[in-house]
Amino acid sequence: MATHYTRAELAKRVIRKADYTPCEEAFVDTRLPGREGKLNYCIIGAGVSENENQVVNLSEPHGFNLGGVSLPTGKINSLHSHTTAEVFLVVRGDWRFFWGHNGDDGEAVLSPGDVISIPTGTFRAFESVGSDDNFMISFLGEDDPGHVTWGNDVIEQAAAYGFYLAESGMLIDTTKGDSVPEGTPVLQSLTPEQLRSYNRTSQAEMEARVYNVERFPGRTDAFADCALAGGAKTYHAIIGEGAHEIDTWRAHILNPHSFSLGAIAADPGNGFLPHRAEVPVVLVVGAGSWQVTMGEPDDETSFEIDTEDTLSIPAGITRSIRCRGDQPGLIYLAYGGDQKVSITWSDAVREALDSAATGAPLKADS
């Protein structure tokens, strides 16, 4: 069923790079030596930020959270673990990831375009090893991704800098006059037995969870509209079931994340022709300039988005996504949920497919 939104309602879902608002003290580790200067962004959903003053650009539930991080070169984001999926997309700069109970089980240096999915329950950390002009997009599974579990060194040192972390995930800053509320349990260091319950991930296992569209082949026939004028594109199935229409094709990373992640590369004038999907999808521009049109033919609203911009498309609305300008483009698509996403093409696309006699099976309206 088609869904109507006003232009003003849709405009709130367009989040420009310039709209991303950093928090300098989003986490308990941000005052520790070697950790200073980390900037945390909550673009869609509050993520796991521990600071109640963190700005969230769009709070509507999507089935996952999307944020960002930048970090001065040579500074470290401390060892920590999550209870839901965590995925990073490197946008700018070079980053070294390392993991394990003590951070010595393995490491990987990632560059722009790399996507890494870190197994739930694995302690991980990262640092910028390139330019100070750096940025990563982060995806966290579920609407409520829970709280961060920090390495013992963070918990043990934070109190010396006036930070305490309640078991509820609330950051308590005693340097600003706050005190630990009476009866509020604060996070304690993990016991050796508790630490042993966390995953150990080998170098080979982690390397298998890295993807870059420049190094892996996509498919140029992943959607029915690829055969039509304006629909040419290469689709990369990175994580999960996604929305592609090839039943025998599987993504690079298969375990459930509460979202799927793919990417399309297209030349100007091409992309997705009008269609619907019954789950929310978030677009993150990796390269180029794109036009996203939402609504029915007699009530369409278009927005232009550029590199590092984000746009949330609500479930059920008709949309088209087209690379514009004079340069090829790349755009990432995160669909809410672990289920296979069904595409419903517009009547005009279905008629064009019939006329072209491509033989591609048409999806019945849901």
Does the pLDDT value for residue 274 go beyond 90? yes
Dist. CA 226–CA 243, nearest whole Å: 14
Dist. CA 316–CA 275, nearest whole Å: 9
Question: What are phi and psi for residue 157, nearest 5 degrees?
Answer: -90, -25
CATH topology of 17-210 equal to that of 215-356? yes
Does the pLDDT value for residue 196 go beyond 50? yes
Q: What is the mean pLDDT of residues 78-90?
A: 98
Domain boundaries, the chain: 17-210, 215-356
CATH number for the domain running over 215-356: 2.60.120.10
pLDDT at 185: 85
Does the pLDDT value for residue 74 go beyond 70? yes
Does the pLDDT value for residue 1 go beyond 60? no
pLDDT at 365: 44
pTM of the predicted protein model: 0.93
Binned at pLDDT 50, 70 and 90, residue 276 comes out as very high
- Looking only at Cα atoms, what is the longest distance across the chain? 72
pLDDT at 364: 46
Which of 74, 75, 15 lies closest to 44, judged by CA? Answer: 15
Of the chain, the percentage scoring pLDDT greater than 90 comes to 86
Q: What is the mean pLDDT of residues 125-143?
A: 98
Superfamily of domain covering 17-210: Jelly Rolls (2.60.120.10)
- Count the neighbouring beta carbons within 10 Å of the beta carbon of residue 274: 21
pLDDT at 163: 87
Q: What is the pLDDT of residues 13-25, one digit of tens each?
A: 999 999 999 999 9
Q: What is the mean pLDDT of residues 359-365?
A: 49
